[in-house]
Structure 1
Amino acid sequence: MHADARRVSAASLVFIAVAAAVVVLVALLALLLVLDAQRSARAEAEEVTRGVATSIAVAPSVADALGGDDATAVLQPFAEGIMAGAGVDFVTIMTPDGIRVTHRDPAEIGRAYLGTIPSEPVALTEEFAGTLGPSVRTIVPIEAGGGVVGWVSVGRTVGSIASDLLPRLPFVVVIVLAVLVAGLAGALLARRTTRRLAGDLPAGSIRDAVASYESMRTLGEALRAQTHEHGNRMHTAVSLLELGRTREAIEILTETSRQSQALVDQVAARRDGDPTVGALLLGKAAQAREHGVEWSAEIDPAAPRSVLSPVDAVSVVGNLIDNALDAAASGEPPRWVRIAFENAAPGALRIVVADSGSGIPDDLRDRVFEHGFSTKPAGADGRGVGLALVRSIVEDAGGSISIASAPTTFTAVLPARQP
């Protein structure tokens, strides 16, 4: 899958990612709109049943009919007319103990009401499965002479409530299609923009290009610092020679040679070292001295070479060191950076970079590797790219990277290159 991702152009991957996100969002939107329509339809059904039931309960003719000799003969036609005109599925008028006086199915008249009859004379709205199936119903007391003379229950079946959704579905479909078209248009625009910037390059090639840029940047900074330091020492030595102070000039040149040679000896002692990384370390040592940061490098002679290419290796090591130098230089004294190359048996290289900086807050630890996130000022070059690129390179190579505190320590473990 990883190989396929490297062959597919970055523009196509952007289109696929954006289009997939749009489809998911549109599906969620459609679901929310349907659920909202269902909620609205049920709320309307509750309001209708409550209003119709209340209107029937307060009608004096209903209470009078319940007190008569043949309530059904009077109230059944009355209930049927309300069912036809009010758009409800049933109107059941009953005695105080729940015996039906009217019903949609005349055969059910005289039988007990199926539903909850409140213990107090109050209105109650509920969903209950009666003779017509599940329905939303409201039961209201019919009062006369200071007491309850009967009850009226008005309801709509769940099926009829669901049928009310059909007129609303075209509106939902129009909204969903509009959002889908707009989202896909945005995906096409994102693909066109990406293609203008990267052509048809695969995503892996773009990452490699970024890694190459980062490698050249960090290596260029290291070499500039080394050249600057060497030039300063040479100018000082020449000035001392012109003043006849030969011994001091020799001491400066000797110290310069000794510091560089110590690191060269460590790098050269590795059985399978990377000369590009070695040159990077020499330059970074000079860069540390330029920032007033104490530099310490421990390189295990048995430490293997990682599977990374020289470009990726320089990008990983250089960015970790740059991050540590920035943190140490902005912190309180003593300021120091320590780097170690260790043999993480079996068959792995461990790179450890620690610094004396103020550390990374616990709530930001999981974000430092996110692309675009940085604790540096907004105007810093390469903001939010370095550590994100480091994690991408390390994980693509089958390795891992972690952060520890007190002191801040980045540890990258990479598979070793096979002989």
Structure 2
Amino acid sequence: MRRWSLARQFFLAQLVFVVVLSASLSVILYLDAARGVNDAAAERMVAVSTSIALEPAVLDAVRGPDPSATLQPYAVEVMDRLGVDFITIMATDRTRFTHRNPDEIGRPYLGSVAEALAGTTHSETYAGTLGPSIRAIVPVVDDAGTVRAMVASGITVDRAAIARNAQLPLVAFIALGALALGALASFLLSRRLRDATLGMGPAELSRTFVFYDSVLHSVREGLLLTDAAGRLVLYNDQAARLLGLDGSQEPVPASDLAVPPSLRDLLASGRRALDEVHLTDTRVLVVNQEPAVPPAPPGRPPQAQGALGTVTTLRDHTEIDALTGQVETMRTLTDALRSQTHEHANRLHTIVSLVELGRGADAVDFATRDLQQSQRLTDEVVAAVDEPFVAALLVGKAAQANERGIELTWEIDPAAQAGSLDLVDLVTIVGNLLDNAFDEASRSGEPHVRLTVRRVDGQAPALEVVVEDNGHGLPDSEKARIFDFGYSTKPPHAAAGGASAGRGIGLALVRQAVRRFAGSIEVTDTDDGGARFTVRLPVATAGTGSRVGA
């Protein structure tokens, strides 16, 4: 048997409460109506008795020889006219002068008379000759204030009950109205509660919370929930680590996060995102985001509902991108080796052909000059660069530039030592800047790229890397966006490398590497209209001299 949902339990509890409340209200209203009828009847009897007691003729009749002969017709007339069940005028010794039943005249009055004899008015419910009745007794006094007689008037409880029962429809209407309104309110509240709890019971809600909380803190990806106002209301430990959060339970506005503007805008916008890559100062994050739309409650058709917020997952691809950078570096060197292999294959075919033609001396001379040219390029690079990683990169880039018809020159200051800088990141910076410069320069008539590496002394010594090209340059509107991940000014397939062309990745990786070094990067225009990228990386080494190569 399926357990009752929390909404159903709440509705039944509320319904029982409303029924009990309505019943209690009915009893209270009935008792209040009964008390009101009895009080009204008692007040009316006091008024009737007081009016008769103040009548001078009554006092005169009491003093006469036969009071009943005068007072009985008078009492009957008043009883009939006012609808009173009895009016008893009696002597101070309780002897009746009048009564509804003439047979009771002369007999003692049944009821309390002590208050009347003391000169005060008294009302009570008492069972007399006509049954229980609501009555009032008032003294008849002379001019000296002496009690000469007493007047009692009353109506039976049954007649008072008729007036009381006349209030029952109103009491029933109020009780049923309260019951109906309470039941309707309980139903609407339970319906709202069912929508909010998706028809689950307390045990299911508790189990779901435990499971979801366990999942939230056990997944290896960053997981965070953002409300419709763009505030982070829930996130797991991995998300706190990736976004630099302190783990506070208070909602955090997305606009206050210390992350790149693109990621802040994504979290605040609530839009869908599929495998979007965002770069922080030290991490590469792959972000997916979907709106959090509540499912339709059980037993109700699906309806279009607004999103409560968004669910965002963050995957840390920093190590993968580092490996990708290393692979790109190896690809650059491989392309350089391929270029050299292609060039040397052509030269080897020339030498073989010269030998076959019997021109051995020419073959030896050609091979010697080729060897000297290749060795001179290697010697220039090695002489200019002390770091083997950078030297190997420049050898490959020189061969790549030669193959693409680009003139590559460089000026390397021997004092510009890498020091404690990470050489892999340094290769990433130089390699990607040169690749970008090659792509831009290749669009000009006489492509030329220049690399300058020098030490800048001062209060904060820095290694300065400057890459210049004579391409078409960058508009001011694009200089701020050129380092955004995925943004590129290259047309599709414009760059060497095929699949990686135009993706807008290289410069984004350069900026990330520069930030890891706590350095800076700047884009300016050259005198011939090209672009100049200037990178400054803080270092702590020193040296002297300068070497030039081409």
Alignment TM-score, normalising by the size of structure 2 = 0.40
Match of 2:40 in 1: none
Match of 1:239 in 2: 353
Kindly indicate whether the alpha-carbon contact (under 8 Å) linking 1:298 and 1:340 is maintained by their aligned counterparts in 2. Answer: yes
Structure 1 distance, partners of 2:218, 2:330, is: 25
Question: What does 1:297-316 correspond to in 2, within 5 Å?
Answer: 297-305=410-418, 307-316=420-429
Kindly indicate whether the alpha-carbon contact (under 8 Å) linking 1:273 and 1:305 is maintained by their aligned counterparts in 2. Answer: no
Q: Which structure has the higher relative contact order (CA within 8 Å, separation 6+)?
A: 1
Structure 2 distance, partners of 1:415, 1:315, is: 17
1:23 aligns with 2:23: no
Aligned equivalent of 1:352, options 458, 461, 466:
466
Match of 2:438 in 1: 325
Structure 2 distance, partners of 1:377, 1:10, is: 40
Aligned equivalent of 1:281, options 365, 369, 394:
394
Match of 1:412 in 2: 535
Shift of 1:308: 3.7
Structure 2 distance, partners of 1:399, 1:263, is: 31
Structure 2 distance, partners of 1:343, 1:250, is: 44
SS in 2 for 1:352: strand
Structure 1 distance, partners of 2:387, 2:506, is: 21
Match of 1:391 in 2: 511
Kindly indicate whether the alpha-carbon contact (under 8 Å) linking 1:299 and 1:341 is maintained by their aligned counterparts in 2. Answer: yes
Structure 1 distance, partners of 2:373, 2:362, is: 17
Residue by residue over 1:206-247, the C-alpha shift from the partner in whole angstroms, topping out at 9 and shown as x without a partner, is: 342232233223232223223322332233233233334455
Kindly indicate whether the alpha-carbon contact (under 8 Å) linking 1:215 and 1:312 is maintained by their aligned counterparts in 2. Answer: no
SS in 2 for 1:342: strand
Structure 2 distance, partners of 1:261, 1:22, is: 65
% identity of equivalent residues? 43
Shift of 1:273: 2.1
Match of 2:479 in 1: 365
Instruction: Mark the CA change 1:415 to 1:298 in structure 2 (over 3 Å): closer, same or farther.
Output: same
Structure 2 distance, partners of 1:264, 1:24, is: 57
Instruction: Decide which structure has the larger Cα Rg and report it.
Output: 2
1:179 aligns with 2:307: yes
Kindly indicate whether the alpha-carbon contact (under 8 Å) linking 1:260 and 1:282 is maintained by their aligned counterparts in 2. Answer: no
SS in 2 for 1:183: strand
Kindly indicate whether the alpha-carbon contact (under 8 Å) linking 2:226 and 2:232 is maintained by their aligned counterparts in 1. Answer: no
Counterpart of 2:518, as a letter, is: G
Residue by residue over 1:135-162, the C-alpha shift from the partner in whole angstroms, topping out at 9 and shown as x without a partner, is: xxxxxxxxxxxxxxxxxxxxxxxxxxxx
Identify, as 1 or 2, the structure richer in helix.
1
Match of 2:499 in 1: 381
Residue by residue over 1:266-288, the C-alpha shift from the partner in whole angstroms, topping out at 9 and shown as x without a partner, is: 44335x72212111111111111
Instruction: Mark the CA change 1:238 to 1:413 in structure 2 (over 3 Å): closer, same or farther.
Output: farther
Question: What does 1:102-113 correspond to in 2, within 5 Å?
Answer: none
Question: What does 1:127-142 correspond to in 2, within 5 Å?
Answer: none
Match of 2:383 in 1: 269
Shift of 1:20: 8.2
Structure 1 spans left out of the alignment, 5+ residues: 1-7, 30-176, 195-201
SS in 1 for 2:480: helix
Structure 2 distance, partners of 1:374, 1:314, is: 21
Structure 2 spans left out of the alignment, 5+ residues: 1-216, 234-250, 254-304, 543-550
Counterpart of 1:303, as a letter, is: A
Question: What does 1:48-59 correspond to in 2, within 5 Å?
Answer: none
Match of 1:105 in 2: none
Match of 1:334 in 2: 446
Residue by residue over 1:53-91, the C-alpha shift from the partner in whole angstroms, topping out at 9 and shown as x without a partner, is: xxxxxxxxxxxxxxxxxxxxxxxxxxxxxxxxxxxxxxx
Residue by residue over 1:95-131, the C-alpha shift from the partner in whole angstroms, topping out at 9 and shown as x without a partner, is: xxxxxxxxxxxxxxxxxxxxxxxxxxxxxxxxxxxxx
Aligned equivalent of 1:218, options 332, 335, 344:
332
SS in 1 for 2:486: coil
Shift of 1:261: 3.5
Match of 1:401 in 2: 521
Instruction: Mark the CA change 1:28 to 1:390 in structure 2 (over 3 Å): closer, same or farther.
Output: closer
Question: What does 1:126-165 correspond to in 2, within 5 Å?
Answer: none
1:293 aligns with 2:293: no
SS in 1 for 2:307: helix
Alignment TM-score, normalising by the size of structure 1 = 0.51
Counterpart of 1:290, as a letter, is: E
Shift of 1:28: 13
Kindly indicate whether the alpha-carbon contact (under 8 Å) linking 1:307 and 1:414 is maintained by their aligned counterparts in 2. Answer: no
Shift of 1:367: 1.1
Structure 1 distance, partners of 2:365, 2:219, is: 56
SS in 2 for 1:374: coil
Counterpart of 2:507, as a letter, is: L
Instruction: Mark the CA change 1:210 to 1:357 in structure 2 (over 3 Å): closer, same or farther.
Output: same
Query: What RMSD over aligned residues (CA atoms) do the two structures have, in Å?
Result: 3.6
